[in-house]
Amino acid sequence: MTAATSQTGGMARLRRIAALIRKEGWQVVRDPSSIAIGVVMPMLLLVLFGYGLSFDVKNVPVAIVMEDVSAEARGAASSFELSDYFNAVQVKTMAEAERMMLDKRVNAIVRIPPDFARRMEQGTAEIQVLVHGTDANTARISLGYAQGAVATWMAREAAMGRIIASPPVSIESRLWFNDANNSSYFLVPGLIVLVMTLIGALLTALVVAREWERGTFEALFVTPVRPVEILLGKTVPYFILGMIGLALSILGAKLLFGVPIRGSLGLLVAVSMLYLIVALGIGLLISSLTKSQFVASQITIIATFLPAMMLSGFMFDIRSMPVAIQVITHVFPARYFVSVLQTLFLAGDIWPVILPNAAVLAVMASVLIALAIRATRKTIG
Amino acid sequence: MTPAAPVSPVTARTLHKTFRRATGETVKALDDVSFEAREGTLTALVGPDGAGKTTLLRLIAGLMKPDEGMLDVLGITVADDPQAVQDRIGYMPQKFGLYEDLSVQENLDLYADLHGVGADQRKQIYPRLFEMTQLGRFRERLAGKLSGGMKQKLGLACTLVRAPELLLLDEPTVGVDPLSRRELWAIVLKLVHEDGLTVIVSTSYLDEAELCDHAVVMHAGKVLAQGTPSEITAKAEGRTFIIETPKGMPARSLQARLFQQDGVIDAVPEAGQVRVVLAAASEADALPLGDGTLQHHRAPARFEDGFMVLFAAVAERTRTSTMTLDQPSSQGSGAMAVEVQDLVRTFGDFTAVDHVSFQVRSGEIYGLLGPNGAGKSTTFRMLCGLLPASHGTLRVAGADLRTSRAEARRRLGYVAQKFSLYGQLSVDENLDFFASAYGLRGRRKADRIAWAKQQFELDAFSRLPSGQLPGGFKQRLAMGTALLHEPDILFLDEATSGADPIARREFWGRITALSEQGVTVIVTTHFMEEAEYCDRIIILDAGRSLAEGTPAEIRAHAAAQDGRQPTMEDAFIAIVETSRDGRAQQRPAG
């Protein structure tokens, strides 16, 4: 049968794949929901996370207890008053400050003791800093800022020659890789993991489930098309869409937030492709488990999007999680991708970090794609 | 059969297929099915929903494997090499997978690419397909924006982009208006008779089976009988009679009475009279039909009669298709139950309902008929107060829907097109919930629920989740729920679609009983013959009212063809075609 043999030829195969990709492309362009997830959502996340969500602590209300009225004490107090990070009010007594703290009118108390000026000459001056500890994260950061403020003041004093002796307290405080201490520097690169997860896993799972729901697969199956061709027809368009999402995210990071890219761009793109394949594999696998768009989106959000947000180290430091959760994070591919992303954006081509993480992603990609191919059958029910 | 007969395109021997539902029960979709489709013939799989037709077609298409039995398609054992079969056949599933975001041309191109049809072949086949389906004008239109009938024609065209060696069509005319149905069948018959294509088509329209060469009658996974349509029809030979309706009695009342009689297999109203099929052949003067005062004469049997004979032998039949209300409806007869005056509904620049007026007297059964997109459902939603009208007046049970919607709603019951009860709640829980929603409480609520369960024979299923009810019982529960608050007017939207012939007749029996006790019933239906149950009907097309009157008046629009009485469907097609021609002629002039 000549018709039958011609269907197995390489040319026929390529033409079928091209037809499926073209069809998918039309659908993406004409279906507002694909555009929403593929383009609008990344942009929205970028703006939301870049401008709206910030872990920076600014304008901490602080009470300064002036028990010493010397010029030195006033100088030290001014270092808090001039700082962007604090909103300082001066009070006379410790009792007054404590009351303000209890009422939550201030989050910190800076106490300059009565013998401050005298002990400064001896090099044993002390400033007491009390921080409201209910929000541990803000408290720790506030404490750091307080130390920073004092250190700045002392450096200035020393420069002006008022302190001849070595500084009474030496504080070395520096935020590595984020000199500007700007949280958008690590949030924006982390966003790429969300964008890739949305396009790769969520969108793919949805469009496959949609074909089941609308009954389009049933007609498609009874043609010469092979299962692998259907799989390619689904992956290639969303891979391209994912790369567009990546480009938009990188551009946004660079232009809107001035995030530096210290590693090489080529490497960044290569690892992102790897993660995109992982995400596509997950999306295809999920869609082989369910034929309903609703269930597919629920599973995808719980299994990929939420872990990518909470357990990848993108928002919360994995090292400060309980050990059990730390172990669990190893299951989610997003974790490896976030490590690579933050390294490439903020540190550079640090091979000891990139290589092992990329290797894990490569293994995951090949396993998932193999499973997806196995799970794709032209059968119903 | 001659010994040299070639291998049949499809040979099935003792096929079995069992599914396990999520609830754990097993369903025998196919139970010992054997049949053969000969080269160049049209085979019809006939039966109600759930008969196993779709499963059988999917097995032939290689989308499923049989549990047991042998299935050869084009000389290939399907289960061993489904791809080899799929390379050579055409298959149109029930809801054909057209890509709605793609245009007509793009859908065709996609299937041409998938089937490896070259550019020069396309130049030959496309004009033919467009001529056959009349879709040439709509090439650029998105498939999602086509009417139901055009979608089915495009689906058919997609399976024909290269000549298949076997064509499988799964219920191609479901949801298609009578006009498009006729056109679709003309295409299929041409393919069989002129091109010699082998076609297997499944259908639940019994009149369509009459057009085929070989009919396989299926029910609950089993083959009840197979043969030429005349062989099936012959089962009812000598048992069919037309009974004349006494003056002043609606045909449906006589039909409901006859249907209850022992010895009667089937009774349907037809052209103002009642056609009956008896359980045994009988002499005309010895009909087992009550007092013997009824005038009757013998009628030639048709396919549906033969089908009902086969079906009656296996299907469970509860004869209590009647019902009694606690208290007959309070409306004075002769009063207007529904008054629609100059009704208009627009969606953007699209007019769904275009200046429609009609009136329904209380106690009447009134039918809204029309092709898909005619505006039936939109009119219905406005009548039930679910959708505001753009223009015109609507009075239901004496209340103006613009000003006192809640008042009107209390007096009406509504059964939606799709099963709209809570599938996970049991029968009791659904009734309890809806009774509360209608504001029933205490003693009265308990009484009304007991009434509904007794009247619709739902006691045996009290605890069963309603999603698992057998098809006919879902319909009963929906109707029982809609009657809990004793409405004066009952709205039924396509209530019988998907029900088997017996369930449909029982259903109409109940409607007749309701109407006799003063309840006004308004229905939409796409089964044209069901219009015979109505007192009056209105025919809608493209939002406009084309004709209104009693079934006899409507039928008079069509001329008698080759000696037989025009059917309601003939009349419908005649009316719609006349109207469309009229408009087509107006257009170039204006």
Give me the pLDDT at residue B334, please: 63
Residues of A in contact with B83 (CB under 8 A): 224, 226, 378
Instruction: Assess whether B53 and B181 both reside in one domain.
Output: yes
> Nearest C-alpha of chain B: how many angstroms from A294?
18
The minimal CB distance from A23 to the residues B88, B91, B99 is found for: B99
Asked if the model's pLDDT at residue B248 lies above 90, the reply is no
Instruction: Assess whether B352 and B366 both reside in one domain.
Output: yes
The reply to whether A216 touches chain B by the CB within 8 Å rule is yes
Asked if the model's pLDDT at residue A274 lies above 90, the reply is yes
Q: Is residue B5 part of a domain?
A: no
Inter-chain touch B87–A224, beta carbons under 8 Å: yes
For residue B116, the tally of other CB atoms under 10 A from its CB is: 22
Name, of B19-23, B334-338, B552-556, the range with top average pLDDT: B552-556
The reply to whether A222 touches chain B by the CB within 8 Å rule is yes
> Which CATH number does the domain housing residue B162 bear?
3.40.50.300
Beta bridge partners of A349: none
Give me the pLDDT at residue A2, please: 41
Q: Which of A10-24, A134-148, A271-285 has the lowest mean pLDDT?
A: A134-148
Q: Are B183 and B153 in contact (CB under 8 A)?
A: yes
* pLDDT, mean over chain B: 85
Q: Is pLDDT larger for residue B494 or for residue A223? A: A223
Q: Is pLDDT larger for residue A44 or for residue B503? A: A44
Q: What is the mean pLDDT of residues A285-289?
A: 88
Instruction: Assess whether B282 and B392 both reside in one domain.
Output: no
Q: What is the DSSP string of B563-578?
A: TBPPPHHHHHHHHHHH
Q: Which one of B283, B314, B345 terminates a domain?
A: B314
The reply to whether A51 touches chain B by the CB within 8 Å rule is no
The reply to whether A33 touches chain B by the CB within 8 Å rule is no
Instruction: Assess whether B501 and B475 both reside in one domain.
Output: no
For residue B60, the tally of other CB atoms under 10 A from its CB is: 25
Tens of pLDDT, residues B527-542:
788 888 999 999 988 8
Q: Exposed/middle/buried for B463, CB within 10 Å: 0-12, 13-18, 19+?
A: exposed
Asked if the model's pLDDT at residue B191 lies above 80, the reply is yes
Instruction: Assess whether B23 and B148 both reside in one domain.
Output: yes
Q: Is residue B3 part of a domain?
A: no
Inter-chain touch A219–B62, beta carbons under 8 Å: no
Kindly list the structural domains of chain A, giving each domain's residue range(s) and its CATH number in brackets, ordered by start.
13-53+182-375 (no CATH), 60-159 (3.40.1710.10)
3-state helix, strand, coil in chain B (%, to 5): 35, 25, 35
Distance CA A178, CA B529 (A): 79
Give me the pLDDT at residue B88, please: 93
**Residue A86: what are its φ and ψ, rounded to 5°?**
-125, 155
Share of chain B above pLDDT 70, in %: 90
Q: What is the mean pLDDT of residues A322-336?
A: 91
Closest residue on chain B to A23 (Cα): B110
Instruction: Assess whether B402 and B425 both reside in one domain.
Output: no
Distance CA A243, CA A239 (A): 6
Torsion of CA B248, B249, B250, B254, to 10 degrees: -160
**Angle at the Cα of B499 from the Cα atoms of B494 and B502, rounded to 5 degrees:** 125
Distance CA B279, CA B10 (A): 35
Q: Which of A136-145, A254-263, B449-458 has the lowest mean pLDDT?
A: A136-145
Distance CA A336, CA B342 (A): 67
Share of chain B above pLDDT 90, in %: 35
> Which CATH number does the domain housing residue B239 bear?
3.30.70
The minimal CB distance from A27 to the residues B92, B101, B109 is found for: B101
| DSSP state at residue A167 | P
Q: What is the mean pLDDT of residues B239-245?
A: 87
Tens of pLDDT, residues A97-142:
888 888 878 888 888 888 888 877 777 777 888 877 666 566 677 7
Q: Which one of B171, B202, B224 terminates a domain?
A: B224
Distance CA A86, CA A129 (A): 13
Asked if the model's pLDDT at residue A37 lies above 70, the reply is yes
For residue A251, the tally of other CB atoms under 10 A from its CB is: 11
Inter-chain touch A31–B101, beta carbons under 8 Å: yes
Say whether B57 sits in a helix, a strand or coil.
helix
Q: Name the one residue in this structure whose structure tokens are 């007869």.
A: B333
* pLDDT, mean over chain A: 83
Instruction: Assess whether B388 and B445 both reside in one domain.
Output: no
Site from A223, A230, A290 to mutate, B interface, most B CB atoms within 10 angstroms: A223
Distance, CA of A141 to chain centre:
19
Tens of pLDDT, residues B141-152:
999 888 777 888
The reply to whether A92 touches chain B by the CB within 8 Å rule is no
**What ipTM score was computed for the predicted complex, to two decimals?**
0.78
Give me the pLDDT at residue A179, please: 47
Instruction: Assess whether B347 and B371 both reside in one domain.
Output: yes
Asked if the model's pLDDT at residue B197 lies above 90, the reply is yes
Tens of pLDDT, residues B82-127:
999 999 999 999 876 789 999 999 999 999 999 989 889 999 999 9
Q: Which residues of B touch chain A, with CB atoms under 8 Å apart?
A: 19, 58, 61-65, 82-84, 86-102, 106, 109-111, 113-116, 142, 155, 158-159, 162, 168
> Nearest C-alpha of chain A: how many angstroms from B345?
28
Domain count of the fold of chain B: 4
Burial A99-110 (b: 16+ CB within 10 A, else e): ebbeeeebbbbb
Asked if the model's pLDDT at residue A170 lies above 50, the reply is no
- Confidence tier at B206 by pLDDT (50, 70, 90): confident
Q: Is residue B97 part of a domain?
A: yes
- Confidence tier at B583 by pLDDT (50, 70, 90): confident
Q: Which one of B224, B246, B267 terminates a domain?
A: B224
The minimal CB distance from A4 to the residues B88, B92, B142 is found for: B88
Residues of A in contact with B18 (CB under 8 A): none
Residues of A in contact with B90 (CB under 8 A): 222
- The domain in which residue B338 lies consists of 333-411+489-506+516-590
Asked if the model's pLDDT at residue B564 lies above 70, the reply is no
Distance, CA of A61 to chain centre:
29
Q: Are A204 and A39 in contact (CB under 8 A)?
A: no
Instruction: Assess whether B499 and B370 both reside in one domain.
Output: yes
Q: Is residue B2 part of a domain?
A: no
Tens of pLDDT, residues B317-359:
655 566 777 766 655 556 788 899 999 998 888 888 999 999 9
Q: How far is CA B97 from CA A246, A290, B84, B345, in A?
A: 33, 18, 21, 31
Say whether B555 sits in a helix, a strand or coil.
helix
Instruction: Assess whether B526 and B462 both reside in one domain.
Output: no
Instruction: Assess whether B73 and B189 both reside in one domain.
Output: yes
Residues in chain A: 381
Instruction: Assess whether B35 and B129 both reside in one domain.
Output: yes
The minimal CB distance from A7 to the residues B58, B110, B116 is found for: B116
Share of chain A above pLDDT 90, in %: 31
Tell me the helices (H) and strands (E) count for chain B, helix number first. Answer: 18, 24
Rama region for B20: left / alpha / beta (φ>0; ψ in -120 to 50; rest) = beta
